[in-house]
Each structure stands twice: as C-alpha cells, then as structure tokens.
Amino acid sequence: MFNPSRLRLARQRLALTLTKLAQLSGVSLRSLTNYETGKLAPNEENLRKLARTLEVPTAFFERDAVDTIPVEAASFRKLSKTTATRRDAVLAGASLVVEFFGVVEAKFKLPAPDIPTLDKFPPEQAAELLRRRWNLGDKPISNVVHLLESRGVRVAALRHEFDDIDAFCFLRDTTPYVFLNTAKTGERQRFDAAHELAHLVLHGEQDMEPGTSKEREKEANRFAASFLMPASAVLDQSMRNASLDRILAARSYWKVSAMAMTHRLHELHLLSDWQYRSTCAALSEQGYRTTEPGGIVPETSQLLRKVMFGTMGRVSVHDAAAHLDLSQDEVRQFIRNLVPTVA
C-alpha cells in the first residue's frame, strides 16, 4: 500500500533533502533512497517515524500517486534567486492544493475557465482585449481575486515561509491556478494577480523555460499595468507632470501601489525621466518602496468563503484535511489570508 511518490511529495513540501530527513527522522539515508525509488517499503516503525517528522498521518503514504507540477509548467519570478529545494517545496505544496480543489469540486460546481489565449498580441493590446471580452470598461477593477475566480481561476495562498517567491501560476488539465503571497500589501497582491493572469493569457501554451523568463516577466508586467490602469482612462485624468499628492490620489483610485502608478505615468510619457526618478526617490523616503502607507485592505476569496463557510453545505477545513490525510493547519496554509482560518 505504500506509495513512494507520496513520501517524496511530503518531504519536498517541507523543503527537506533526503539527507536532512534522515537526520531528523532517524531513518537511514540508504533506506530513504530505497523507499523513494520504490525498491523497498518502510516497516511500521520507520513509517511512523517518517509520518511524525513530515507532519502527516501514515495514511498519507497510502494515497494514490500524485503528478507534481513540473518546473517548466509554472511561472516563477526571480527563479535564479530561488534554490531548487525551495522551488520544489512550492510545487509540491501546489500539487496538494490541486487535490484540495478536487475535494471542493466534488461537492460544488465551480466556474468554468474563461482564459483566452492572446499570445499573438502585444501585452498592452492583450490587456485591452481581455477587458473588452470581460466587459470591464476602463474603470478600476473592484477586486482582482473575485474577477479571476469568476473566470474559473483557482486562487490559493503561498506558504509564508517562501517569501522569496512572489506568486506563480500554471495550468493543470486546462484549469488555471494562481498562487499569491498573501503576506504582501493589498496593492502588490493585486498587481501580482494581474501579472499571473498575464502569464496565463500570453504564455499559457508555452514551457516556462528559465532562459526566456526575463522577457516573459517584462511582458507580464506590461500586461498587468495596462490591465489595472488602462491607458485611455489614465490619459483622461490629466496626469501630465503630476505632483506627488496627485499620484497618491491616483494610486488609491486605481488600487495600485504608488510605485506602480508612478511607473505607469512614466510609461505613458506623462512624467519625464527626471520627474520619474525624483518621484521614486521621494516615495522611497516615505516608505512606499516596501510598504503602502494608507493603502487598501488585501483582497480575499469570495469563492472559498462560500464553499468553506456557506450556510448551504460546505467543505470545512476539518473535512478537507480528513479527505486529504493532512493536518488542518496544512489546509489553512492553502487559504491563509484569503478567507477566515477558523473552521
């Protein structure tokens, strides 16, 4: 009944090497290697040691094999600065989130994906076309997470210990998934969500090869800025040579960071190079480079709130954990800051 892929998944999700797991569990490295390659199955004593160390019930190792998310399928920013162990941990966790949504979909009919492929268009035009397709006009988007969920995107949270990874996305069996770092400011989470939407729209059919990541990231940033701050509407606001106060007012209107607003004005030639640098320096002095004073409340999930806390039947944290042979704390990590975590 022991499934080697489940041991590998449980280990990787905690960013443990085989050597480290051997040290922590007291099970020999040779035995662990044989377990993961399927040459041997652990005896009951070693199985209990591994379950205790990896924080899962022994039943977790008896579940069906799971296909982990391949690296080339996921969009990662700054991948070169992330170790392979931490990258694999995030992907292992994402595989469990896919199973979590499987539990949800067994009880609820979720929105079908409506993410078009617009890879033949420049990012700015793709953003405009998507706004038109989704009937968004040129006004600020009230809630990006709700919008993505309504279009069939499954949104989940990254474990906060992996704060070197901003966000990422992938397609699994045509269903899009977006993972957000929910420890960030509301404005930056919105931009991250729009950035990942860009990857789904522009690069969903591509392998996310590390060698071409810089160009993909630039395109995703251009899409996100255009999607959140449409050029026609920003130009109508008479923001040429805008003062710092006007920029701060505009960032509140568009629900983006002050830095993103400043960059967008420069991108639209409404600020000169000198004005752009001066404004960025002034914003940095006031703390806007890493935080967002007076900013918005981070967005939460409407879909997960309904399915996990609704009155017409629900999938509680307890139920999901029992279905997945995981701890309730682990399931709470999937939804951290996206919904209330007491259930």
Residue 80 or residue 302, greater confidence: 302
| Calpha distance 129→135 (Å, rounded) | 10
Which pLDDT band, with edges at 50, 70 and 90, does 162 fall under?
confident
Quick: pLDDT tens for 39-49.
999 999 999 99
Q: What percent of the chain has pLDDT over 90?
A: 81
pLDDT of residue 151: 98
pLDDT of residue 252: 97
Whether 131 and 51 have beta carbons less than 8 Å apart is answered as no
Q: Mean pLDDT across the stretch 55-64? A: 96
**Pairing of the two strands 175-180 and 167-172:** antiparallel
- The pTM assigned to this predicted structure is 0.93
Residue 119 is classified by DSSP as T
Residue 64 or residue 309, greater confidence: 64
Cα 77 from chain centroid (whole Å) = 11
- Round the average pLDDT of the chain to a whole number and report it: 92
Q: Pick the most confident of 15-29, 83-97, 198-212.
A: 15-29
Residue 67 or residue 285, greater confidence: 285
SS3 25: helix
Q: Which domains does the chain have, with CATH numbers?
A: 1-66 (1.10.260.40)
| Calpha distance 115→171 (Å, rounded) | 11
φ, ψ (nearest 5 deg) of residue 284: -60, -40
| Calpha distance 55→263 (Å, rounded) | 44
**Mean pLDDT lowest among 17-31, 107-121, 206-220:** 206-220
Q: Mean pLDDT across the stretch 113-121? A: 95
Q: Report the candidate in 170, 167, 204 with the shortest Cα–Cα distance to residue 189.
A: 167
Asked whether residue 343 carries a pLDDT value surpassing 50, the answer given is: no
Residue 158 or residue 205, greater confidence: 158
pLDDT of residue 149: 98
Handedness of CA 192, 198, 204, 206 (dihedral sign): negative
Residue 173 or residue 76, greater confidence: 173
pLDDT of residue 207: 67
Q: What percent of the chain has pLDDT over 70?
A: 96
| Beta-carbon contacts of residue 274 (< 8 Å; ≥ 6 apart) | none
List, in sequence order, every residue forming a beta bridge with 178; answer none if it has no partner. 155, 169
